[in-house]
Amino acid sequence: MAKVELERLTKVYPGGVRAVDSLDVTIKDGEFFALLGPSGCGKTTLLRTIAGLETATEGTIRIADRDVTKVSAGDRDIGMVFQDYALYPHMTVEENVAYPLKVRKVSKDDRREKAAEAAGSLDMRELLERRPGQLSGGQQQRVALARSIAQEPGVFLLDEPLSNLDARLRLESRTFLKRLQKELGITTIYVTHDQAEALALADRIAVMEAGQIRQIDAPAEVYNRPSSLFVASFIGSVPMNLLDGVVEDGRVRVGSAALPLPDDASEHVSSGDEVVVSVRPEHTTVSETEEDESIGGQVAVTELLGTQYLVTVEAEDISAQGVTRHPPEIGAQAWVTPEPEQLLIYRRADGGLVGTPVIEDAKSEKETASAAS
Amino acid sequence: MTAEPEAAEREATDEESATGGANVLGNKGAAAFVAPAAGLIGLFLVFPALWTLYLALTNMRLTGLAAAEPQFVGLENFLNAVSEGEFLNSLYVTLIFVLGSAVIGQAFLGFTLAWILRDWRGWQRQAFEVLAIVAWIIPASVVAFLWIALLDGDSGTLNTLSPVNVDWLLEYPLLSIIFFNTWRGTAFSMLLFSAALNSMPPSHLETARLAGASFWQQLRDVILPSIRGHILTTLLLISLWTFNLFTPYLITAGGPGSQTETLPIYIYNVALSNGRLGFGAAISAIMLVINLIIAWIYLRVVGKQDA
Amino acid sequence: MAASPTQTRTVQRVLSRIGFYLLVIVVGAFFALPMLWLIFAPFDRTPSLSVEVPSFTLANFTEMFENPFVLSSLRNSVLLSVITMLLVCASAALCAYALSRVAVPGRDVLLYILLLFSSIVTGSAAMVPIFQLMFQLGLINTYTGVVLVMAGGLLPAGIFILKDFMDTVPESYEESARVAGASSVQILKDIVVPVVRPGLAVIAVWVFVQVWGNFLMPFILLRDPAMQPAAVIMYSFYTSGGQADLSVISAFSLLYSVPVVLMYLFVNQRYGFRFHGGIKG
């Protein structure tokens, strides 16, 4: 049972920077848990604190019901894969994989056996005698994984293990990693700044900003119902539409358009409230004839995304995007109609989803959101 | 969307792990690791250096009353030094020696060689480097004799090979040791400049070339600025080393007369031959100050570059 | 008849090529000339100060070995050089590692100051205090005294260069070993030292060469001629009164020079001899 529990975990650097700000999280046994956020949000610091490479300023860390807050990194029963893989250039692959076992004074024969086993599970047996310098990026990454696997730890900690691979390899490794984790069933904490990666791999995602967790949810939830503007602007390969609006008579006025107010939002807002309306371009339709409850304007840009086109429509000072298979001409009039069930309403003041508690550090939310959009 | 955050992300990770290394070693571990070297340096380097400064303020001698009971004389040694002709001569000789052999000789020749050889590979480059480095590695006593043999007035190699017959060590002693030291130390500058030129991104030069810059313009505007830090470090090191070099003694013993009596040789003569230990120490102290001034100037110039 | 631009350019190119090769030959000759004596004279039956084609003989070497101090001086040189090299490498490695990983305030300034001190103290400037210090410690006329002084003088530069090598070892190496449970000493031994081996090799050669060739320290601190290393003995050969015995001098010079040259060639072959982007601004 290697679940990981963090209680009021805080890490403050000299100079007062709160890299990790009083976090309470429970990561379930066998779960693939992603820490996602922009650079500087504290996700790597959090991972390193769990690993024991940084000492927590306050709070506790429990791994498998054991308080490891004061325990040294080598005794926490964790395996860690670093962004640059940290393969020792002067050792062969076998020696690299077996090194943690050597440190634990496992006998030479047992070491070789376990290393071969770990290598075998990653299809790497023929590489055992090579040196890291002779391996490709993908192979190096698997050696780093094998080294952690050979330890048979309770928890895997992975620090952006795919970011040094080129794009195609990254996608293949992603699938490989997910399958591997399901087979081994080891609790995994995974740091990344790539939201597509987190969505694809994780059982749950924790979106972080400035040392705090803004949302913990399953990927689908984070994607479909981001709890704040910050999360909304961070998640999704195509940016969400974020449009300033004002609540008016049971609807939301955005520019000259009037969009419907979702049911679960209507009880939390009143006429005159300043809000931000949000909808994903994939959850809209684009038509060249006028529609109700849609945003109209002139087509400014069309971009091919693969199967569909991303169409940018501009009117007054509003810019909305929708997707369609059959894009209109540049300069033509078009209307972007959001699917009413997919509309999300956020408070303009603190960026939080209406109906959810007010977020502290609200200023950072708004700034991040407007900077990102 | 992912490309830019990646680069910034790695920086953040580096920043965050800036103290991670400290956690690996721990402050106590670090202290233990530094201790042996610190002990050796403290006792056998710093302590004698400080003692020299103290001695400079006494009238200590090798023999006689002042040897048994040296007295504190304050700045008397320093005042005597500055007014003594031999000291000023020695200072002058040393400065010429450093300028000629280190600044002009080693650095200039080293850079030229590094530049010329930068595109060479294979055995030609190797041969050249080995030649220069062997000149640097052969023990000082041997090198000194090799140059005595080369420059000998009657049967030295130079004189047998050339139509003129010049007693180099007698007629051009300072020039001789300048050439000697250039020969001796160029390898070091050459190695450092080679590394510096290698680390220069080729795109800088290519941009200049495409803009139509001539070779000299490229040198002045692209190359020199980009390896400026290396130039300064190299100059600092070889200047200091040359300033404090004792080896010329093995060739000319400071002569003829005192034409090649650099400061280190002067101190040796003054302290051991003449027995004026306190005075010798004062000269050493002055040398230390001059070294500090050179280093300070260097640090200021480098500091300005970073700012 | 003015030359066309292409013709002028070709002429320019040919001239610069010639100039280039001329320069290379001149500089090459400049470096090679003094050394030629070392190659020819020891094997010459009648060696003179100038370089000449030798009438080949090995008699100079036999004559050299008749001198009682030749073998002992070479042995002393080896002893002093090897011990100092080991001492400096070990202490510099530990120190450079710690300084590379732990950012002590003023560390860089301190290193520069020590570097300054070392270039002064290894000269004649601190001759007297060193003599007096060794005298007080009872280390006059001992190998220990010479080794300690040389080590103290060479350490700052050694640490400076090694620290640069250490800086290039990514911290993730040590952190991953730490997570695997290794202690600091294990990390240094298993991970860091093997990776900085080229740097250690360069320092080792450099220290060895410095001690092997050092004249002043043994000259001051050692009294007994049987304890003197080759540097001092060599000097005594050509400054002793009367005619300098070129047979012995030439043979001894060669024998004395060969070990360090071989050492350098070996390290260069194995690791490449570089101070490795070492000393930047």
Q: Give the Cα separation of A116 and A119 in Å (integer).
A: 5
**Measured between beta carbons, which residues in chain B are less than 8 angstroms from residue C38?**
138, 142, 146
What is the mean pLDDT of the segment spanning A167-195?
A: 93
The number of beta carbons lying within 10 Å of the beta carbon of residue A256 is: 11
Structure tokens at A44: 């790597």
- β-partners of residue A11 are A20
A246 sits in the region (left: phi over 0; alpha: psi -120 to 50; else beta) called beta
Interface test with B, best of C21, C23, C31, C122 (most B CBs within 10 A): C31
CA angle A7, A8, A13 (to 5 degrees): 125
User: What residues contact residue C30 under an 8 Å CB cut-off, 6+ apart?
Assistant: B183
Structure tokens at A232: 């909304």
Mean pLDDT of chain A: 89
**Measured between beta carbons, which residues in chain B are less than 8 angstroms from residue A159?**
13
Inter-chain CB proximity C179 and A99 less than 8 Å: no
Give yes or no for B22 touching A (CB within 8 A).
no
User: What pLDDT score was predicted for residue A30?
Assistant: 94
Inter-chain CB proximity C256 and B277 less than 8 Å: no
Inter-chain CB proximity C181 and A99 less than 8 Å: no
User: What pLDDT score was predicted for residue A212?
Assistant: 92
* Residues C202 and C149: beta-carbon distance below 8 Å: no
pTM > 0.80: no
Inter-chain CB proximity B142 and C234 less than 8 Å: yes
**Nearest neighbour of C48 by CB, restricted to B46, B155, B241:** B155
Shortest distance between the Cα of B56 and any Cα of chain C, in A, equals 11
Q: Give the Cα separation of A339 and B298 in Å (integer).
A: 69
Residue of C nearest to B14 (CA): C171
Tens of pLDDT, residues A103-156: 888 899 999 999 999 998 888 889 999 999 999 988 999 999 999 999 889 999
Q: For A82-91, A164-173, C58-67, which range has the lowest pLDDT when averaged over its residues?
A: C58-67
Inter-chain CB proximity A39 and B5 less than 8 Å: yes
**Nearest neighbour of A54 by CB, restricted to B2, B6, B23:** B23
What is the mean pLDDT of the segment spanning A162-176?
A: 90
Q: For A42-46, B1-5, C208-212, which range has the lowest pLDDT when averaged over its residues?
A: B1-5
Inter-chain CB proximity B11 and A159 less than 8 Å: no
**Letter string b/e over residues A269-308, b meaning 16 or more CB atoms within 10 A of that residue's CB:** beeebebbbbbbbbbbebbeeeeeebbbbebeebeeeeeb
User: What pLDDT score was predicted for residue C51?
Assistant: 75
pLDDT band for position C3 (cuts 50, 70, 90)? low
DSSP letters spanning C30-59? HHHHHHHHHHHGGGBSS--SS-----B-SH
Of residues A134 and C279, more confidently modeled: A134
User: What pLDDT score was predicted for residue B16?
Assistant: 35
C273 sits in the region (left: phi over 0; alpha: psi -120 to 50; else beta) called beta
User: What pLDDT score was predicted for residue B61?
Assistant: 76
Sites in chain B below the pLDDT cut of 70? 1-25, 62, 65-66, 68, 302-307
Smallest CA-to-CA distance from C209 within C239, C234, C230, C224 is with C230
Tens of pLDDT, residues A322-373: 999 998 999 999 999 999 888 999 998 888 888 888 877 644 444 545 544 4
* Residues C149 and C221: beta-carbon distance below 8 Å: yes
Inter-chain CB proximity B12 and A19 less than 8 Å: no
What is the mean pLDDT of the segment spanning A3-24?
A: 91
User: What pLDDT score was predicted for residue A98?
Assistant: 92
Structure tokens at B52: 């020299």
User: Using CB atoms, which chains have 3+ pairs under 8 A with B?
Assistant: A, C
Inter-chain CB proximity C265 and B135 less than 8 Å: no
User: What residues contact residue C262 under an 8 Å CB cut-off, 6+ apart?
Assistant: none
Residue of A nearest to B13 (CA): A44
Q: Give the Cα separation of A271 and A273 in Å (integer).
A: 6
Interface test with A, best of C102, C174, C176, C185 (most A CBs within 10 A): C176
Residue A206 has pLDDT above 90, yes or no: yes
User: What pLDDT score was predicted for residue A349?
Assistant: 86
Interface test with B, best of A44, A157, A158 (most B CBs within 10 A): A44
Residue of C nearest to A97 (CA): C180
User: What pLDDT score was predicted for residue B4?
Assistant: 37
Tens of pLDDT, residues A261-315: 888 888 888 888 899 999 999 999 999 988 888 898 999 999 999 899 999 999 8
Inter-chain CB proximity C176 and A151 less than 8 Å: no
User: What pLDDT score was predicted for residue B18?
Assistant: 40
User: What pLDDT score was predicted for residue B5?
Assistant: 39
**Nearest neighbour of A86 by CB, restricted to C172, C181, C197:** C172
Residue of A nearest to B7 (CA): A39
- End-to-end Cα, chain A, rounded Å: 42
- Which amino acid, B263? L
**Measured between beta carbons, which residues in chain B are less than 8 angstroms from residue C116?**
240, 291-292, 295
Residue of B nearest to A373 (CA): B1
Residue A46 has pLDDT above 80, yes or no: yes
The structure tokens 């060193």 sit at C130
* Residues B113 and B195: beta-carbon distance below 8 Å: no
**Nearest neighbour of A74 by CB, restricted to C173, C181, C191:** C181
Residue C169 has pLDDT above 90, yes or no: no
